[in-house]
A and B are shown apart, each in its own frame.
Chain A
Amino acid sequence: MILLATKYANSTEQRFEIIAVSVVICLVIFELIRRRRLMERYAILWLLAGVTVVVLSVGQSLLVKLTHAAGISYAPSAVFAIAFLFVLAMLVQFSMTISRLSDQNTALAQRLALLQERLDRERDDARPPAPGASRVTPPADRP
């Protein structure tokens, strides 16, 4: 959509195509949330990107103003800059999410190991094993 926005930035007729593409992207995101494939938490940035493109293509004067304010001479470059910022924001969000998930995964594995150990010990305490028996619980013991 950003590519389209760049290509047609000066053409009023093709603005509708850009808008249509953005709207389709928003609808895809919406459908992913509805099917619970995407959590709202991660969808907001995507929807924001879609809405930004719609707003910039509807109000082209806004894009021109933004371009001047940022000291960029060529409007499509401004679109690229905005697109780059969105991509960057999403990548940072993903990195943060992956870091959090790794931490939580570690914590889960540790907690599981501690619980397994406690379960084994309580089972051994309940019925003392034959000499030399392994402390590891055979999987068949699990209900």
Chain B
Amino acid sequence: MPGKLAIVPAHNEAGAVGPTVAEIHRWAPDFDVLVVDDGSTDATAVRAREAGATVLTMPFNLGIGGAMQAGYLYAREHGYEVAVQVDGDGQHDPRYIKDLAARLASDPSLDMVTGSRFLDSDGNGYRSSAARRIGIRVFSGVVSRITRRRVTDPTSGFRMTDRRGIELFARDYPHDYPEIEAILLMHAHRLNSCEIPVTMRARTSGSSAISSSQSVYYMVKVLLAVFVGLFRRHPALDQPETPGAEAAGRAEECPPVVAERPT
């Protein structure tokens, strides 16, 4: 039976990490929970263990990229087939994990499924500052253009990957603000990704990793990394099981949902 892992990065989230772990256990009982305590100075690790999670404690704050990669290294080393990222601050609703899993399982050519805040059809979208929305718009345009498919929420960290995604991210994961670069990394290695609509909640504790004073640096750094990334050589990962994956990778939209899984 293939193992499934929920990776929960948490930095000083003692208030939110316990309920998050409990919710994952409740709504996605087939997932093991790994909390990556990224050098917290509060009781994050204790609360996570109390809630029944395995905890990786970083000796100091590595930043979200380093913490997530530790999670993917753990997933690779323990042979997990599926890994989902769920932020420790309670923004990501674990009720959507099964939707992400269903989408990933519905199409064998898919390697990553991201929960997007902006695909919500009933207009119940995500509220945030105008500046942040504009920033997300810009990146959405850039990423969509490069990957030649619609990416509505490139900064979402709520996503699930299969074994190939785990292998890729264990080997190479962006450092500072990884979400956007991770999508492009997937694309550059000719892995397929897709979005499904989710609703995100307001954070229950802590503060965003990106303060307004850092957002200029964020924009410059990510745009630079995206630009340089275009000139790197990325070998394709092995794609043994699906010969049609290459064709699907060139499609304009996400691969269509396959009602029954081909055997």
Interface residues of A (CB under 8 A from B): 30, 33-34, 39-41, 43-44, 47, 103-104, 107-108, 110-111
Given contacts A34-B232, A40-B176, contact A47 B59 (CB under 8 A): no
Question: B1 in the interface, Cβ–Cβ < 8 Å?
Answer: no
Q: Complex Cα distance A108/B225, Å?
A: 28
Chain B positions 55 through 93: 1 when the CB is less than 8 Å from some CB of chain A, otherwise 0: 000011000000000000000000000000000000000
Question: B175 in the interface, Cβ–Cβ < 8 Å?
Answer: yes
B228 to chain A: which residues have CB within 8 Å? 30, 33-34, 40
Contact B59 A40 (CB under 8 A): no
A104 to chain B: which residues have CB within 8 Å? 59-60
Which residues of B in the span 203-241 have a Cβ within 8 Å of any Cβ on A? 217, 220-221, 224-225, 228, 231-232
Which listed residue (A47, A107, A108, A110) contacts B224, Cβ 8 A? A47
Contact A41 B59 (CB under 8 A): no
Residue among A33, A39, A103, A111 with the highest chain B CB neighbour number at 10 A:
A33
A34 to chain B: which residues have CB within 8 Å? 228, 231-232
Interface residues of B (CB under 8 A from A): 59-60, 175-176, 217, 220-221, 224-225, 228, 231-232
Contact A107 B221 (CB under 8 A): no
Closest partner residue, chain B, to A38 (CB atom): B228
B176 to chain A: which residues have CB within 8 Å? 40-41
Which listed residue (A30, A40, A110) contacts B221, Cβ 8 A? A40
Q: Complex Cα distance A30/B231, Å?
A: 10
A40 to chain B: which residues have CB within 8 Å? 175-176, 221, 224-225, 228
Q: Complex Cα distance A111/B58, Å?
A: 9
CB distance from A62 to the nearest CB of B (A): 21
Contact B59 A111 (CB under 8 A): yes
Closest partner residue, chain A, to B224 (CB atom): A40
Closest partner residue, chain B, to A110 (CB atom): B59
Contact B220 A44 (CB under 8 A): yes
Contact A103 B232 (CB under 8 A): no
Residue among A47, A104, A108, A110 with the highest chain B CB neighbour number at 10 A:
A104
Contact A107 B60 (CB under 8 A): yes
Closest partner residue, chain B, to A39 (CB atom): B175
With A40-B228, A104-B60 given, can you name 9 additional A-B contacts, CB distance below 8 Å? A30-B228, A30-B231, A33-B228, A34-B228, A34-B232, A44-B217, A44-B220, A107-B60, A111-B59
Contact B59 A108 (CB under 8 A): yes
B217 to chain A: which residues have CB within 8 Å? 44
B231 to chain A: which residues have CB within 8 Å? 30, 34
CB distance from A28 to the nearest CB of B (A): 13
B175 to chain A: which residues have CB within 8 Å? 39-41
Give 7 CB contacts A-B under 8 Å. Answer: A33-B224, A41-B175, A41-B176, A43-B224, A103-B60, A108-B59, A110-B59
Q: Complex Cα distance A2/B4, Å?
A: 56
Given contacts A34-B231, A34-B232, A39-B175, contact A44 B224 (CB under 8 A): yes
Closest partner residue, chain B, to A33 (CB atom): B228
CB distance from A92 to the nearest CB of B (A): 16
Q: Complex Cα distance A77/B231, Å?
A: 38
CB distance from B57 to the nearest CB of A (A): 9
Q: Complex Cα distance A41/B222, Å?
A: 10
Q: Complex Cα distance A107/B39, Å?
A: 11
Residue among B224, B228, B231 with the highest chain A CB neighbour number at 10 A:
B228
A107 to chain B: which residues have CB within 8 Å? 59-60
